[in-house]
């Protein structure tokens, strides 16, 4: 009995050796039917003890792999959830009916009435202001159109794209030689959470729209940076 215990301890020592492979000390596979038979015949035998040791190691290995997989899955799920929660895109047009806006004596905020898309509800339809839900790189696009054929017309297609009141871009087409003018701008901008993006009509500018939606304001989060 003492000899068996000694052999078994030796087996444990071998099993704990980091250089000890999955093979038995004699290069035999531990699942060798001969070893299994030993175990069936005598559970206190050294062969059985070694086999149990191997099974314990394999179980530890698979448990570790399983918990690693679970951690990876949780991380992937969190990333996906984050991606879904940060979705932000809006696209709006000035009007749906044939109508013009301006010219005014003072710069006036433009409220786009037609909402094509407002994913994440960042665009406020009563103020015309888009508030960035989170920090990130956003794509912003603005197109303006003016028509000198409309009543009271002056031809000056111009507007200002602003962030927190500061001008990001001031697209303008002020040409008296023709009937219609249009201009546009597209930018990639780093915004902070809470930054307010809007469009104003500077004094003298004049925009016309119809169901063709010549005046559009669009923005979306390209990727979050927080
Ligand atoms: C492997 O995980 C199971 C289930 O959580 C547990 O019962 C068992 O004791 C673990 N085995 C080892 C060797 O850690
Ligand atoms: C839009 O802005 C107004 C004025 O700041 C505010 O009262 C209103 O709650 C906002 N609407 C939404 C949907 O956030
Ligand atoms: C813009 O204004 C918002 C709201 O007041 C503020 O949270 C944000 O930090 C401002 N951004 C910049 C770049 O000043
Ligand atoms: C357009 O050009 C005319 C002639 O140069 C000028 O008087 C007018 O102020 C300009 N309008 C705007 C909005 O820039």
pLDDT tens-place string over residues 75-115: 999 999 988 888 999 999 999 999 999 889 999 999 999 99
If asked whether residues 162 and 124 sit together in one domain, one would say: yes
Residue that is last in its domain, among 84, 114, 137: 84
Instruction: Give pLDDT tens digits for 141-168.
Output: 999 999 877 555 568 899 999 999 999 9
Q: Return the C-alpha torsion angle 209, 203, 182, 110, nearest 10.
A: -40
In a shared domain, residues 42 and 149: no
Is the per-residue pLDDT at 33 higher than 80? no
User: Is the CB of 60 inside a 6 Å radius of any atom of ligand 1?
Assistant: yes
Same domain flag for 120 and 174: yes
pLDDT at residue 9 in the model: 45
Pick from 41-55, 61-75, 136-150, 154-168: least confident: 41-55
Instruction: Give the pLDDT of residue 16.
Output: 47
79/162 same-domain check: no
Instruction: Determine the distance separating the centroid of ligand 1 and the alpha carbon of 63, expressed in angstroms.
Output: 6
**What residues flank ligand 4, with Cβ below 6 Å?**
156, 158, 174, 204-205
Task: Indicate whether 133 and 80 sit together in one domain.
Answer: no
Q: How far apart are CA 4 and CA 47, in angstroms?
A: 10
> How much is the pLDDT for 25?
45
CA 177 to ligand 4 centroid distance, Å = 12
Q: What is the pLDDT of residues 165-196, one digit of tens each?
A: 999 999 999 887 788 899 999 999 999 999 99
Closest-lying ligand 4 atom to the alpha carbon of residue 205: 13
Same structural domain for residues 130 and 164? yes
Split into its structural domains, the chain has a count of 2
* Same-domain status, 97 and 173: yes
Contact between 161 and 169 under an 8 Å Cβ cutoff? The reply is: yes
Domain carrying residue 169 = 86-224
- 80 and 147 assigned to the same domain: no
pTM above threshold 0.85? no
Last residue of a domain, one of 45, 62, 84: 84
């Amino acid at each position: 009995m003492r000899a068996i215990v000694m052999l078994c301890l030796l087996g444990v020592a071998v099993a704990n050796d980091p250089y000890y492979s999955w093979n038995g000390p004699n290069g035999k596979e531990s699942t060798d039917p001969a070893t299994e038979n030993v175990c069936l015949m005598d559970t206190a035998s050294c062969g059985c003890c070694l086999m149990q040791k191997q099974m314990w190691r394999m179980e530890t290995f698979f448990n570790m792999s399983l918990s690693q997989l679970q951690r990876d899955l949780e991380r992937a799920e969190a990333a996906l959830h984050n991606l879904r929660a940060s979705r932000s895109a809006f696209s709006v047009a000035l009007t749906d009916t044939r109508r013009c806006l301006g010219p005014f004596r003072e710069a006036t905020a433009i409220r786009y009435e037609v909402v094509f898309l407002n994913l994440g509800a960042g665009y406020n339809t009563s103020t015309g202001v888009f508030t960035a839900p989170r920090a990130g790189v956003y794509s912003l696009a603005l197109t303006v159109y003016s028509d000198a054929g409309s009543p009271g017309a002056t031809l000056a297609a111009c507007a200002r794209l602003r962030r927190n009141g500061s001008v990001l871009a001031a697209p303008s087409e002020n040409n008296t030689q023709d009937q219609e003018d249009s201009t546009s701008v597209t930018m990639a901008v780093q915004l902070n959470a809470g930054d307010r993006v809007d469009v104003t009509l500077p004094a003298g500018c004049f925009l016309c729209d119809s169901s063709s939606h010549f005046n559009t304001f669009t923005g979306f989060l390209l990727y979050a940076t927080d």
